[in-house]
């Protein structure tokens, strides 16, 4: 029976259309999910939209539309983004679904039954944009004496009746959990930030609002709606059918990985595990806070600066797989990185196009033209063939999977690229076009060796560029059963070469990318 693996993105807040950060996270999660499937695991992949809270109310009011209509429209854009970018989710959860309300009420009742909820009066600083409460010591002064949150968003003094969660009781249990599970928070920089925050002491958390009514009603307190983060975080379980513990929830929970932006690490590594501890539910195994994609010059993208990039426009301009490759190749996962059209074009042309695409094109074209599409026979290995098989095999079966398993996507792609370079060097050294006249048998062995290695390279990069790599494998006649890191050795080749399969003349995988007349900043 396959080992279950549950991965989630953050549940995106849809008060605006998806931006490049949403696309980056969705693609990264998708690549991880695809990799885990190729490892033989039974993967469940959840994404979705978090549709409650004051920001949605204000945005709908500003647009003059009904708030539910706004949710329906905006959630649709996020679904469209996932479809465009080939994000292979299993469940798109919306927090306005009736089943999600049931799950939110269930975890609330469980926390209340544990004695961790009480009614009181809240007075403090609140950021509408972050949907977060902040202590005075966390704030900074903005222009005109305004107070700003650690994220640079405006805060306002709020006074209202509220239900509170006894977060202060969970400081030590949380610290104990971090100590016992050192990989619970990754990367290390995020772990250190959270440790420092919790070690400084925790205050009880306001978990309901009465100033608006767009949200999940608090059971027994109809004038209160749940704090949006209680409701949003529960979506990871409602997507599995919670509070029913006999179906998917029992199979896939706890989550193996919550993949989120670094700006919401506190909610996922302090509030969420405390809620789960209170409700007597298992905690997720790991929370990974990735960095931001920044504009040129290191600026964070924002509408006010006019540097927001539409990921769907980028996909149309450069191709979906070229964009996916850029996301995962350009940035060390967990760190901030920068975006530019020039960088996408450079990566697409020099690495995907030249190093891999041209390798496949010239080898497969040679076979189609000179062998009439029949696959060459391996007559006799020589040391150069064995050396290439050994290098590519080690890279594909060990180095790349090990890197992807650790979420070191950039490192895994670098291993793949080095293997592409090794194949190109082998082509240049063996020169099959010269062997065609001087040693046809040796030519066939060289071409067969390259055919096998190209199939291995295409398989290894499937999680990153699933459409292009998949199309290449289809054209090469590689059975679906062999498209795994361990199943793409050399054994399959003999049966394929002896079958009636014939290779058609290939078309270029990666047409050359050109910069538009005006590039994004």
Q: Is the pLDDT of residue 146 over 90?
A: no
The pLDDT of residue 242 is 98
The pLDDT of residue 296 is 66
Q: Is the pLDDT of residue 369 over 50?
A: yes
Q: Is the pLDDT of residue 127 over 90?
A: no
Contacts of 24 (CB under 8 A, 6+ apart): 290, 293, 327, 331
The full set of domains in the chain, from first to last, is 4-291 (3.40.50.620), 341-498 (1.10.730.10)
Q: How confident is the model at residue 148 (pLDDT cuts 50, 70, 90)?
A: very high
pLDDT digits (tens, 9 = 90+) for 40-85: 999 999 999 999 988 899 999 999 999 999 999 999 999 999 999 9
CB atoms within 10 A of CB 152: 13
- Measure the CA–CA gap between 349 and 477, rounded to whole angstroms: 26
Residues 511, 324, 422, CA angle at the centre, nearest 5°?
65
Q: How confident is the model at residue 131 (pLDDT cuts 50, 70, 90)?
A: confident
Q: Is the pLDDT of residue 518 over 60?
A: no
Q: How confident is the model at residue 297 (pLDDT cuts 50, 70, 90)?
A: low
Model confidence, pTM: 0.92
Over range 15-29, report the average pLDDT. Answer: 94
Over range 234-262, report the average pLDDT. Answer: 97
Over range 388-403, report the average pLDDT. Answer: 97
Q: How confident is the model at residue 293 (pLDDT cuts 50, 70, 90)?
A: confident
Rounded to 5 degrees, φ, ψ at 45 are -125, 120
The pLDDT of residue 301 is 65
The pLDDT of residue 55 is 87
Rg of the chain over all Cα atoms, to the nearest angstrom: 26
Q: Is the pLDDT of residue 520 over 50?
A: no
Contact 463, 404 (CB under 8 A): yes
The pLDDT of residue 346 is 95
Omega into 187 within 30° of 0, i.e. cis? Answer: yes
- Which has more pLDDT, 160 or 428? 428
The pLDDT of residue 54 is 86
Provide, rounded to the nearest whole percent, the portion of the chain with pLDDT above 70.
Answer: 97
- Measure the CA–CA gap between 474 and 482, rounded to whole angstroms: 12
Q: How confident is the model at residue 521 (pLDDT cuts 50, 70, 90)?
A: very low
Burial group, residue 370, by CB count within 10 angstroms (0-12, 13-18, 19+): middle
Average pLDDT, the chain: 94
Contact 93, 100 (CB under 8 A): yes
Q: Is the pLDDT of residue 481 over 80?
A: yes
pLDDT digits (tens, 9 = 90+) for 184-196: 999 999 999 999 9
Q: Is the pLDDT of residue 26 over 50?
A: yes
pLDDT digits (tens, 9 = 90+) for 201-246: 999 999 999 988 999 999 999 999 998 889 999 999 999 999 999 9
- Measure the CA–CA gap between 147 and 231, rounded to whole angstroms: 27
Q: How confident is the model at residue 305 (pLDDT cuts 50, 70, 90)?
A: low
pLDDT digits (tens, 9 = 90+) for 411-443: 999 999 999 999 999 999 999 999 999 999 999
Over range 258-278, report the average pLDDT. Answer: 97
Over range 248-274, report the average pLDDT. Answer: 97
- Measure the CA–CA gap between 257 and 269, rounded to whole angstroms: 12
Q: Is the pLDDT of residue 519 over 70?
A: no
Quote the tokens at residue 101.
Answer: 């309300």
């Amino acid at each position: 029976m396959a080992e279950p693996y549950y991965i989630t993105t953050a549940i995106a807040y849809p008060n605006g259309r998806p931006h490049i950060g949403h696309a980056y996270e969705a693609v990264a999660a998708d690549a991880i999910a695809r990799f885990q499937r190729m490892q033989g695991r039974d993967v469940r992949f959840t994404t979705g939209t978090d549709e409650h809270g004051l920001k949605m109310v204000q945005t709908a009011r500003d647009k003059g539309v009904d708030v539910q209509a706004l949710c329906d429209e905006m959630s649709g854009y996020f679904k469209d983004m996932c479809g465009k970018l080939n994000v292979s989710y299993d469940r798109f959860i919306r927090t306005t679904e009736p089943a999600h309300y049931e799950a939110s009420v269930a975890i609330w009742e469980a926390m209340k039954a544990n004695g961790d909820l009480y009614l009181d009066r809240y007075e403090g600083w609140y950021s509408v944009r972050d949907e977060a409460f902040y202590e005075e010591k966390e704030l900074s002064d903005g222009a005109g004496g305004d107070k700003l949150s650690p994220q640079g968003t405006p805060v306002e003094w709020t006074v209202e009746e509220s239900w509170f969660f006894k977060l202060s009781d969970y400081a030590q249990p949380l610290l104990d959990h971090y100590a016992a599970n050192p990989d619970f928070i990754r990367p290390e920089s995020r772990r250190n930030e959270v440790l420092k925050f919790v070690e400084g002491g925790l205050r009880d958390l306001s978990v309901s609002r009465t100033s608006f009514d767009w949200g999940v009603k608090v059971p027994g307190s109809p004038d209160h709606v749940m704090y949006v983060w209680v409701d949003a975080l529960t979506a990871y379980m409602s997507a599995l059918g919670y509070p029913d513990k006999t179906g998917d929830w029992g199979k896939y929970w706890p989550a193996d990985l919550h993949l989120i932006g670094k700006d919401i690490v506190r909610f996922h590594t302090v509030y969420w595990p405390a809620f789960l501890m209170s409700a007597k539910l298992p905690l997720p195994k790991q929370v990974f806070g990735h960095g931001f994609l920044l504009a040129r010059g290191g600026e964070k993208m924002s509408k006010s600066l006019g540097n927001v990039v539409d990921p769907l426009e980028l996909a149309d301009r450069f191709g979906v797989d070229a964009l996916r490759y850029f996301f995962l190749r350009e940035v060390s996962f967990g760190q901030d990185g920068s975006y530019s059209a020039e960088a996408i074009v450079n990566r697409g042309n020099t690495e995907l196009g030249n190093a891999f695409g041209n390798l496949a094109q010239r080898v497969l074209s040679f076979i189609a033209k000179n062998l009439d599409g029949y696959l060459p026979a391996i007559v006799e290995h020589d040391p150069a063939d064995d050396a290439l098989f050994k290098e590519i095999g080690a890279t594909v079966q060990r180095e790349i999977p090990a890197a992807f398993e650790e979420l070191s996507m950039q490192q895994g792609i670098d291993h793949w690229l080095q293997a592409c370079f090794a194949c190109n060097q082998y082509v240049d050294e063996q020169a099959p076009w010269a062997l065609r006249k001087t040693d046809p048998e040796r030519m066939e062995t060289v071409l067969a060796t390259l055919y096998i290695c190209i199939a291995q390279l295409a398989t290894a990069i499937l999680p990153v560029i699933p459409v292009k790599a998949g199309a290449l494998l289809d054209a090469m006649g590689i059975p679906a059963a062999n498209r795994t890191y361990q199943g793409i050795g050399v054994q399959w080749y003999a049966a394929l070469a002896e079958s009636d399969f014939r290779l058609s003349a290939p078309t270029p995988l990666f047409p050359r990318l050109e910069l538009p007349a005006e590039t994004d900043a």
